[in-house]
Amino acid sequence: MSRVGKMPIAIPSGVTVDVINDVVVAKGPKGEVSQAITDGISIDITDGVLTVNRPSESKQHRALHGLYRALINNMLVGVSQGHNVRQELIGVGYKVSNEGNRVEFVLGYSHKIMLEIPKEIKVITETLKGQPPAIMMECADKQLLGQIAAKIRSFRKPEPYKGKGIRFAGEVLRKKAGKSAAKK
C-alpha cells in the first residue's frame, strides 16, 4: 500500500470538508479550495480524520491514491494556514512594484513586464536598501501559487555565471567558472 496514501489527515479546527459528486471542497479562514477526484478513489471522513481509499491494487489506482492524499492535505493546510512564496530579483537595476494585483517588473529588457495576478493570491512587493527587491505571494491554493511563481521566474531565469535573475528566497544556484578558468 502507498506510504503517502495510507496516512490519515487530521482536519484542522475551523476547517470544513465536504465531498459532493466526486469533488472535495475545503473551506477555512484563508479561503475555499476544491479538487475533483477520479472515479474509484473514495474519501472517508470520521471524527475529524480524513482517509483516502482505493478500490483495487491496479497500477492506476495505486498512483492516484498517494496523489489525491497529497493534494487534499495541501488543500487543508492552505485553507487553515496558507501557502507562501518569496522571490528575489538579483541584478543591477531590477525592480518590482505592484498596484493591487497588477505587478510591474523592470528586468533589463527594453520594456516593462506587466502581470495580472489572480485575485485569489495576495501580493506584496518590497524594496529595502541593501537587499534585492522581493515579491511575496500568499494563497490557499498551492497549485495556483506554484504556477504563478514559475511564470514570474520564467521572465528572467537565474543565469549560471553571475546568478542574475529571479530566484526563490533561499535557493542555492550552482555557478559555472567561466572563460578565465579554462585559460590556466
Residue 59 confidence class, pLDDT cut points 50, 70, 90:
confident
Cell numbers for 105, please give them. Answer: 517588473
Residue 68's pLDDT is 92
Report how far residue 42's alpha carbon sits from residue 45's, in angstroms, rounded to the nearest whole number.
10
Residue 119's pLDDT is 94
Say which DSSP state 65 is in: H
Q: Can you say how many angstroms the Cα of residue 106 is from the centroid of all Cα atoms in its chain?
A: 23
Q: Is the pLDDT of residue 27 over 70?
A: yes
Q: How far apart are the first and last CA of the chain?
A: 56
- Residue 17, phi then psi, degrees to nearest 5: -125, 130
For the ranges 52-66, 75-89, 133-147, the lowest mean pLDDT is seen at 52-66
122-126 sheet: strands from edge to edge: 122-126, 134-139, 83-90, 165-168
Residue 180's pLDDT is 75
Is domain 83-168 annotated with CATH 3.90.930.12?
A: yes
The string of pLDDT tens digits covering residues 105-157 is 999 999 999 999 999 999 999 999 999 999 999 999 999 999 999 999 999 99
**Class of domain 9-80 as given by CATH:** alpha beta
Residue 4 confidence class, pLDDT cut points 50, 70, 90:
confident
Region(s) of the chain under CATH 3.90.930.12: 9-80, 83-168
Q: Within 13 Å and on the Cβ side, how many CA atoms surround 13?
A: 0
In one-letter notation, the amino acid at residue 91 is: G
Residue 15's pLDDT is 93
Which one is predicted more confidently, 87 or 21? 87
Q: pTM of the prediction?
A: 0.87
**Quick one: average pLDDT of 54-64?**
88
Neighbours of 117 (CB within 10 A): 20
